[in-house]
Structure 1
Amino acid sequence: GDLVKGKDGIEVSVIDIAEGGGGGAAPFKPGKSKKGNAVKAFYDRVLTTFEVSKKSERPFVTMFLLILLLVLVVVILAALWPSIPGYLTKEVCLEAECLEASKQILSWARPDASTCRQPYEWACGHFEEKYKAHNFHGANKGEWNFDAYQDYEETAASYEFISKLPTVAVSYSAQYMIKKLHQICTTVETGSNNEAISSLKRTLKNLGGWRMLLGSNNPHWDLRENLQKVQPKYGAAPFYKLGIETRNAPPYDVIITVSEGDLGLPSKEFYTLGEKDPVIAAYHTYLRDILAHMVASSTTKSQEYAKMIFNYERRIALDVMGVLREAAQGNASQPQIRTMQQLADEAPSLPILQTAQAMFRRKITENTQVLVSSPIALKMISQIITTTDKEILNNFVMWSVIRHFVPYMSHNFRQSLLEFEKVLYGVEHKQPIWHFCTKVVQQWMPYGLEALRENPKLVVHDREQQDYGGGGGGEDRRAVGMDSMDPYHSSRQVQEVTEYDEEMVRLMFYHIRDEYKGALNNANWVNQQLTKYIADKLSMMRVQIGIPEELLKSERTVNEFYNDVVLDELLFVDNVVTHWEFVK
């Protein structure tokens, strides 16, 4: 309509005034009208730009609102989305070796446990559940962990291999000896108790006799004379022990080692316990039981004997611990190089030179160098000997020999040992005889057993087709490409996988070694002498997986290695001596 002026001088439409309706009309708001017009104008421009007709206007608006809603949802999700853990951003495990390793780790782990609050449960929770109830759990000296389980699996695999070995090989072959040694060992529980005791008494008689035995009270028994025989002939080590190690300084050759001898308890710390402690009480019972197996004696005499042995061992342990504690600030308690003459001057009561000459084939003189684990400890042991009665010395030396033979004796001795280990280690039951005997084979004939396992083509199945007397180095029978029908032989595919694994291990070893060399060269804070020593050791390091291939080519090589082994098929305990003769 026509425009007229209002009271405030603003031009308005006559129609608008008329629609306002009289004095009760709402006041006019020019700002709101302008905003509405602007929105309508923008809306009209959008429709015009997209050429939206009146008919398509409603679908267009609906689609626009949906898009706006989706954008809003995306923004909210982006704001609230949890961060990705770092381990999920790493490279994905796809190789077979990686998957196998992951499977092994995850089989022990319990991922639902708290990593920080329950790290052991998180890493080994399933191991506890699955293997704590293992049949061998209570027989492994109370220690049951991943290493113990792996050792059990390896022993079980060795036993399966030994049990399948044919018996057609000749008696001087390693194959026959492995099979026979295991068979003889299994009779240890059923063997004659009297024969085992008689064998042990003969051993003690060769050492001058044991005063506890009837008719063996030799007044001329000499400690030095018999100490020279104990380790070289029987492997026991009272007062001191000899061994062989590689020198950790130029010229890096082998060197004789001298250390403290063995005591009845596995650690000197046990001797600090009180008389009423369960371990000490069990050790007293063990001493009395072994004496009762060897000789008929009264209860009072057995108790006196047990107390004598324990008190003397405790004296040695506590006195040695005392001097080591006093010398802890200096180098006196550390391994040191000594000549035999210097060692004889420091510990004159110990016939170490004579023992070494009887034990090793090489020429040993007063000028021969030896590595002494703790000179001050040997000096203290020598002083203790000089102040000890001959009767106590005799009983202690003989007990050391008896204790060395007990695990290979008859049922009564082994049962007494088991009762002692129940308290000492928490053993719940005796290990199966197959496990004990397999461990004996692994320890006594490791090269022969592993050689046959690594190259099963060395296993003899038909003696008639075997050439034992031919010349040369014997037939070259490598383990590659073996007949898959033979239960001992692996397929070519397995062999290829094994070779790949070995190559991977070598690659890892040399890479780590080179990285360590580089880090050592950049470590300016390490003194030059130590740097050279470590660098020399690194340069000498090599990786060897299993037995070298040249030692697996021929059965004759393995058989010749065991030429000097003699097995006693009548009494297993007698093999302890023959085995020690072969080892040394």
Structure 2
Amino acid sequence: MEMEILSGRGTKQSAAPTTLMKAALTASVCLCLALLITVIAVSQKSSNEEFCLTPECIEAAGSILKKMDITAQPCDDFYQYACGGWLKENPIPEDFSSYGIYPWLRQNVDLKLKELLEQPTTEADLEAVKKAKVLYRSCMNETALELLDAKPLLKELKKPEFRWPVLENALGFDVRWVAEKFNLLETLAQIRTQHSKSVLIRLYVSPDDKNSQRYIIKFDQASLVLSREDYSTNTTEAQQNREALLRLMVDVSLMLGADAKTAEAQMKSALSFEMKLAKIMIPFENRTSENMYNKYSLSKLQRTIPEFNWLSFVRATIDSKLYPDLSISSSESVIVRAPQYMKDLIKLLNATDSRTVANYVVWRSVLSRVTTLSRRFLYRYLDFARVTTGTTSLTPRWDKCVNYVEGTLMYVTGRLFVDKHFQEDKKHMMEELVEGIRWAFIDMLEKENDWMDAETKKKAVEKVTHIHKVLGSEINIWWSNSSF
């Protein structure tokens, strides 16, 4: 009985707590479910806010995925994983030695410019646009190019500053090269002015590296035809490239009228000179910002390297018709980016006979013009390019002409492109992007950069703050008149 009583009491006494526990458990489960639903909802909302799902973003994401190869294991071959799709869809074009996203973008822009430049001229076109279309059509006239053949270049080679020793009397006794009349400074200046080509000494104007508000004249070592390593090493590839270059030099001089025996001997000497030139050039790894910032006045540079008339050289490169009021004096500041090269160059010039120097300098001018001549010159240059760069076909004529017009009339083609293809509603997005990058860079400078001192940071922030952006239609500020 006692057990029954106890049992009965026990049953009655435990009934209330069990009910409460069930109620509490039920409430807890409901609360957990509510919290879970809330978390999921917040997570979904956060996900929607975190990821851009606009058509433009989806298109961009698809473009990135298309360039990848997600079947590759990133830990085994990350390059294939990241770029496999691009490699499959974009083999190197036959007229390119290398290819990537920037050449691809460049080619797409060129195709759009081609379409614009090929449109018929209308009365509504601005005068500058009409000139751009005329220039493009003139460049595309291959019939005229074939008829002219080498005549435009031969006409240049008759001028006193462009006479080529290797041709001897081929263009006439009165226009042959004469050692006593050879003026290296004048020849270098005229090649720079008329052909936009720097030989031996590169002269250009750009912002001062330590004061971007100011433009300054700069002197630097000029480029070579081949890479520096092709002249300084004796690998099989380097020897093949040098031989291909020599054969090009000889053949082009023969095509312009030189004697075969003379061409072989004199072009070998010119190539030997370029090999010596390569040895005195400052290698890339030594061309640091600090090493290349050497400020002089022209008078101080003249005292440092007196064998070359620096002031006369600068003055000779200035087009007095284009800049009649521009005056350069000996007090003008310049930056010499490779002082030791300049000193060694003078020594090399003094140790080399003037015929070899003239042959080399004028050859570089001739080479810059070869690809503007008739097809027999183009195909001879292609044979050289096959060996040295691996290209197997000529650049399409339209592509060359688009780039020529763009380089000559940059703001005109820019205006044409913007008017047709720039979407004004995207300008605000780009402004936000630029400002975001600017803000992020300044934030990184101020919070994460621990190797700059305070003064350097301050100057860096000032420089970033004053970067001027030009977006789309803002190109119109560069020219608003109808003529050029």
TM-score (norm 2): 0.80
In the alignment, what sits opposite 1:392? 356
Aligned to 2:106: 151
CA distance in structure 2 between the aligned counterparts of 1:186 and 1:330, rounded to whole angstroms = 42
Task: Please report how far the alpha carbon of residue 289 of structure 1 lies from its aligned counterpart in structure 2 after TM superposition.
Answer: 1.4
Kept in 1, the 8 Å contact 2:411–2:479? The answer is no
Q: How far is 1:109 from its partner?
A: 1.5
Between the aligned partners of 2:269 and 2:193, the Cα distance in structure 1 is 26
CA offset digits 1:510-545 (Å, max 9, x no partner): 122123223323345411332132122112113211
**Aligned ranges for residues 226-245 of structure 1 at < 5 Å?**
226-245=187-206
For residues 191 and 396 of structure 1, the distance between their equivalents in structure 2, rounded to whole angstroms, comes to 26
Measure how far apart 1:329 and its partner are.
Answer: 11
Query: Following the alignment from structure 1 to structure 2, what is the Cα–Cα distance between the partners of residues 319 and 251?
Result: 30
- Residues 1:351 and 2:309 are matched in the alignment: yes
> Matched residue of 1:318: which SS?
helix
1:440 and 2:404 are equivalent in the alignment = yes
1:342 aligns with 2:296: no
State the alpha-carbon separation in 1 of the partners of residues 288 and 302 from structure 2.
22
Deviations 1:153-197 (A, max 9, x none): 111111111112425578x92222111111111234752466533
The structure that is helix-richer by fraction is: 2
Q: How does 1:414-429 map to 2 (within 5 A)?
A: 414-429=378-393
Q: Distance in 1 between matches of 2:409 and 2:50?
A: 45
Q: How does 1:187-202 map to 2 (within 5 A)?
A: 187-188=141-142, 191-192=145-146, 196-202=150-156
TM-fit CA distance, 1:318: 0.8
CA distance in 1, matches of 2:477, 2:430: 21
Q: Aligned residue for 1:70? A: none
2:248 aligned with 1:286, yes or no? yes
Aligned amino acid, residue 186 of structure 1: M
Q: Distance in 2 between matches of 1:438 and 1:329?
A: 34
CA distance in 1, matches of 2:142, 2:314: 32
Contact 2:311 2:329 in 1 (8 A): yes
Judged with a 3 Å threshold, the aligned counterparts in structure 2 of structure 1 residues 301 and 275 are, in CA distance, closer, same or farther, namely farther
Aligned AA for 2:184? L
- Does the 8 Å CA contact 2:94/2:393 hold for their aligned counterparts? yes
Give the alignment partner of residue 180 of structure 1, picking from 112, 134, 148: 134
1:139 pairs with 2:106: no
Q: Which residue of 1 aligns with 2:234?
A: 274
Q: Once the two structures are superposed, what CA deviation does each residue of 1:79-125 show, in whole Å capped at 9, x if it has no partner?
A: xxxxxxxxx99944412232121021112112222122122222222
SS of 2:213's partner is: coil
Q: 1:93 to 1:164 in 2, by over 3 A?
A: same
Q: 1:251 to 1:445 in 2, by over 3 A?
A: closer
State whether residues 188 and 408 of structure 1, in contact with CA within 8 Å, keep that contact through their aligned partners in structure 2.
Answer: no
Q: Is residue 177 of structure 2 the alignment partner of residue 217 of structure 1?
A: yes
What is the CA–CA distance in structure 2 between the aligned matches of 1:514 and 1:414, rounded to whole Å? 50
2:161–2:187 contact (8 Å) kept in structure 1? yes
Q: 2:70 aligns with which of 102, 105, 111?
A: 111
Alignment partner of 1:526: what SS? coil
Relative distance call for 1:97 and 1:233 in structure 2 (3 A) is: same
Partner of 1:97: 56
Counterpart-to-counterpart distance in 1, 2:67 and 2:143: 36
Residue 193 (structure 2) pairs with residue 255 (structure 1): no
**Same amino acid, percent of matched pairs:** 20
Residue by residue over 1:208-254, the C-alpha shift from the partner in whole angstroms, topping out at 9 and shown as x without a partner, is: 62222213131322323433433123322221011111113247211
Letter in 1 for 2:118: S
User: 394-403 vs 193-202, which deviates more?
Assistant: 193-202
Q: 1:547 to 1:337 in 2, by over 3 A?
A: farther
Residue 164, structure 1, aligned to residue 129, structure 2: no
- Between the aligned partners of 1:355 and 1:379, the Cα distance in structure 2 is 16
- Judged with a 3 Å threshold, the aligned counterparts in structure 2 of structure 1 residues 226 and 418 are, in CA distance, closer, same or farther, namely same
CA contact (8 A) 1:278 1:423 kept: yes
Verify: 1:303 aligned to 2:252, yes or no.
no
- 1:25-44 pair list within 5 angstroms: none
> What is the rounded CA distance, in whole Å, between the counterparts of 1:354 and 1:412 in structure 2?
39
Counterpart position of 1:467: none
CA distance in 2, matches of 1:348, 1:283: 34
Q: Give CA deviations for 1:392-430 in whole Å, capped at 9, x if unaligned.
A: 111112112111212212222222221111111110111
- SS of the counterpart of 1:212? helix
For residues 104 and 476 of structure 2, the distance between their equivalents in structure 1, rounded to whole angstroms, comes to: 32
Offset of residue 506 of structure 1: 1.3
Change (3 A) 1:112 1:219: closer
Match of 2:395 in 1: 431
Matched with 1:544 is 470
**TM-aligned CA deviation for residue 321 of structure 1:** 4.2
**TM-score, structure 1 normalization:** 0.67
**1:370, CA displacement in angstroms?**
0.9
Please say if residues 293 and 412 of structure 1, whose CA atoms lie closer than 8 Å, have aligned partners that are also in contact.
no
Q: Structure 1 residues 126 and 224 mapped into 2: Cα distance closer, same or farther (>3 Å)?
A: closer
- Which SS does the other structure have where 2:179 is aligned? coil
1:430-455 Cα shifts (integer Å, max 9, x gaps): 12111111111121112111212322
Q: 1:232 to 1:92 in 2, by over 3 A?
A: closer
Paired residues in the alignment total 430
Judged with a 3 Å threshold, the aligned counterparts in structure 2 of structure 1 residues 181 and 169 are, in CA distance, closer, same or farther, namely farther
How far apart, CA to CA, are the structure 2 residues paired with 1:430 and 1:331?
A: 37
Q: C-alpha deviations, 1:25-48, integer Å up to 9, x for none?
A: xxxxxxxxxxxxxxxxxxxxxxxx
Which blocks of at least 5 consecutive residues in structure 1 are unaligned? 1-48, 50-87, 457-489, 563-584
Provide, for residues 262-320 of structure 1, a one-character-per-residue CA deviation record: whole Å limited to 9, x for no partner: 3222x22221233862211211111111111111412x333223311111001011123
Number of the residue aligned with 2:440: 515
Identify if the C-alpha distance between structure 1 residues 372 and 232 changes in structure 2 by more than 3 Å, giving closer, same or farther: same
Q: Output the CA distance in 1 between the equivalents of 2:349 and 2:56.
A: 58
Give RMSD over aligned pairs: 3.3
Query: Which stretch has the larger CA shift, 303-312 or 355-364?
Result: 355-364
C-alpha distance after superposition, 1:58-77 (max 9, x if no partner): xxxxxxxxxxxxxxxxxxxx
Contact 1:197 1:294 in 2 (8 A): no
Partner of 1:129: 88
Residue type matched to 1:281 in 2? E
Amino acid at match of 2:405: V
CA distance in 2, matches of 1:256, 1:395: 28
> Aligned equivalents of 1:138 and 1:357: distance in 2?
43
Structure 2 residue matching 1:429: 3-state secondary structure: coil
Partner amino acid, structure 2, of 1:448: V
Instruction: Please give the alpha-carbon distance, in whole angstroms, between the structure 2 residues aligned to 1:99 and 1:431.
Output: 35
